């Protein structure tokens, strides 16, 4: 079964085609790389628009996205930075939200899922709604499908073991472990695409501290930062191979928190040096493998931005972009979690701090209006919202292009089941 998984991976090379070996030493200085520009300098030739960015889309796709969003109304701009929540299983409800509020898309949870036919009807309705809104790129249709107990399509998509299996497999045999981890991500992504999804909110890059960690636990690939980095790097490449947008989470690392951000705002008292050593290696590995999106946690980093959730702290976005050199899409963790409850206009705080996508605000329509009003009043600059929206549009354009090049195979379910078994066997 492992041989089959290896052949599956080798036949479908994604944008991140470098070595599976991750985790150089953690940097302690800024490693930011300037964004590619199509503007020629006095001494340099123009950048070829086909040149890929460090996170997927080409330079040309990003420039076209910037030109497009510059023509949009505040209502369109506000929608394109929101991934909404909805209730129930009626496909018409999220489709109407995407069309009328111009949403980037929606996040699907287990409460929105009935059976395979309903899921296909829902994702098709969302795709049609985006097209009816005048968009020629797909919407964000995302789902938490990490493997293990955080799998919102249980009974519909193939079940994979917890991501800790990836770390265990790599610990047992590094080369085999990376291969089966990549194959698991590839087949997960292909199966999700076959169901109409364009995003997966995985992989988890948090380095757990073990029993004292109540939130992440087995969702983490390992307690060892280097093993976790290898697992995350391999998974990113697998998702890229599949033509689905992956989301590395929860920056800068939730595995050391001893309380649950679903309920409260956890405090993480690690120094920046400790965060660099313990938490950042998997994110560095992901960025090196061209991770398209990173999710920001709701953590109070007392030595970085005390009293403010990381998802709303400019200092944390600076750490990600300026120190680690990430240039792709930043997305908040769910804005309906207890960690941000009671804060005034949490979505707007996150957008101003540096978020490109606002995930699952409590009231999607109200949040949309808040962002529209903030653009009109100047509370948030139109430039900041255009920057965010352009990244999202460019990434969705990339997703459509790669997906078109890599059709979902007819036997995707059989391949996914084999890959799941291979990962479990390699781990234990």
Asked if the model's pLDDT at residue 273 lies above 50, the reply is yes
Which residue did the predictor score with more confidence, 419 or 339? Answer: 419
> Helix-strand-coil percent breakdown of the chain, rounded to 5?
45, 10, 45
Map out the domains of the chain with their CATH numbers: 51-427 (3.20.20.300)
For residue 296, give the 3-state DSSP assignment.
strand
Cα 253 off chain centre by = 14
Asked if the model's pLDDT at residue 242 lies above 70, the reply is yes
Residue 182 near residue 234 (C-beta atoms within 8 A) = yes
Cα 214 off chain centre by = 22
The catalytic residue among 240, 333, 356, 422 is 333
In this structure, are strands 150-151 and 145-147 parallel, antiparallel, or unpaired? antiparallel
What is the pLDDT confidence band of residue 251, given thresholds at 50, 70 and 90?
Answer: very high
Q: What percent of the chain has pLDDT over 70?
A: 90
262 is catalytic: yes
Among 2-6, 169-173, 361-365, 390-394, name the one with the lowest average pLDDT. 2-6
Determine the average pLDDT of the residues in 216-230.
97
CA angle 263, 266, 270 (to 5 degrees): 165
What's the pLDDT score for residue 42? 56
Question: pTM to 2 decimals?
Answer: 0.89
Asked if the model's pLDDT at residue 8 lies above 50, the reply is no
The catalytic residue among 21, 90, 262, 363 is 262
Determine the average pLDDT of the residues in 204-215.
95
Among 2-16, 64-78, 159-173, name the one with the lowest average pLDDT. 2-16
Average pLDDT, the chain: 91
How many Cα atoms occupy the beta-carbon half-sphere of 38 within 13 Å?
14
Asked if the model's pLDDT at residue 21 lies above 70, the reply is no
What is the biggest distance separating any 2 CA atoms in the chain, rounded to whole angstroms? 59
pLDDT in tens, 344-386: 899 999 999 999 999 999 999 999 999 999 999 999 999 999 9
278 is catalytic: no
CA angle 83, 87, 90 (to 5 degrees): 100
Measured distance CA(109)–CA(210) in Å, rounded? 27
Which residue did the predictor score with more confidence, 34 or 155? Answer: 155
Measured distance CA(355)–CA(386) in Å, rounded? 12
Asked if the model's pLDDT at residue 133 lies above 80, the reply is yes
Task: Spell out a b/e string for 233-264, using b for 16 or more CB atoms within 10 Å of the CB, else e.
Answer: bbbbbbbbbbbbbbbbbbbbbbbbbebbbeee
What's the pLDDT score for residue 9? 35
Closest CA to 241 of 2, 15, 44: 15
* Structural element, H or E, at residue 145: strand 145-147
């Amino acid at each position: 079964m492992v041989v089959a998984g290896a052949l599956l991976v080798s036949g479908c090379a994604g944008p991140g085609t470098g070595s599976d070996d991750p985790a150089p030493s953690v940097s302690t200085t800024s490693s930011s790389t300037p964004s590619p520009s199509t503007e020629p300098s006095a001494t340099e030739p123009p950048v070829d628009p086909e040149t890929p960015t460090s996170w997927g889309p080409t330079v040309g796709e990003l420039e076209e996205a910037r030109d497009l969003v510059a023509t949009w109304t505040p209502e369109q701009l506000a929608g394109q930075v929101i991934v909404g929540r909805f209730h129930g299983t009626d496909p018409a409800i999220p489709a109407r939200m995407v069309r009328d509020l111009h949403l980037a898309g929606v996040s699907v949870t287990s409460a929105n899922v009935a059976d395979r036919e309903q899921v296909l009807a829902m994702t098709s309705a969302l795709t049609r709604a985006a097209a009816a809104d005048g968009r020629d790129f797909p919407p964000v249709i995302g789902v938490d499908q990490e493997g293990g107990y955080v799998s919102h399509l249980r009974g519909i998509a193939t079940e994979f073991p917890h991501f800790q299996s990836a770390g265990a497999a790599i610990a047992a045999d590094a080369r085999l472990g990376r291969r089966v981890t990549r194959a698991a991500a590839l087949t997960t992504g292909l199966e999700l695409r076959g169901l109409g999804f364009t995003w997966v909110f995985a992989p988890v890059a948090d380095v757990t501290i073990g029993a004292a960690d109540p939130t992440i636990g087995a969702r983490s690939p390992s307690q060892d930062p280097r093993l976790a980095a290898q697992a995350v790097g391999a998974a990113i490449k697998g998702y890229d191979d599949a033509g689905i947008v992956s989301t590395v989470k929860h920056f800068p690392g939730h595995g050391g928190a001893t309380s649950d951000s679903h309920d409260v705002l956890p405090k993480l008292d690690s120094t920046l040096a400790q965060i660099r050593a313990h938490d950042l290696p998997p994110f560095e590995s992901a960025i090196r493998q061209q991770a398209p999106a990173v999710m920001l946690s709701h953590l109070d980093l007392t030595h970085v931005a005390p009293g403010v959730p990381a998802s709303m702290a400019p200092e944390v976005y600076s750490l990600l972009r300026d120190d680690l050199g990430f240039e792709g899409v930043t997305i908040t963790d769910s804005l309906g979690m207890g960690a941000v409850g009671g804060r005034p206009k949490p979505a707007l705080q996150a957008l101003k701090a540096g978020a490109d996508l606002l995930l699952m605000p409590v009231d999607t329509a109200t949040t949309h209006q808040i962002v529209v009003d903030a653009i009109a009043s100047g509370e948030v600059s139109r430039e900041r919202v255009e920057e965010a929206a352009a990244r999202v549009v460019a990434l969705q354009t990339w997703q459509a292009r790669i997906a078109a090049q890599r059709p979902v195979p007819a036997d995707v379910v059989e391949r996914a089941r084999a890959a799941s078994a291979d990962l479990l066997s390699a781990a234990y």
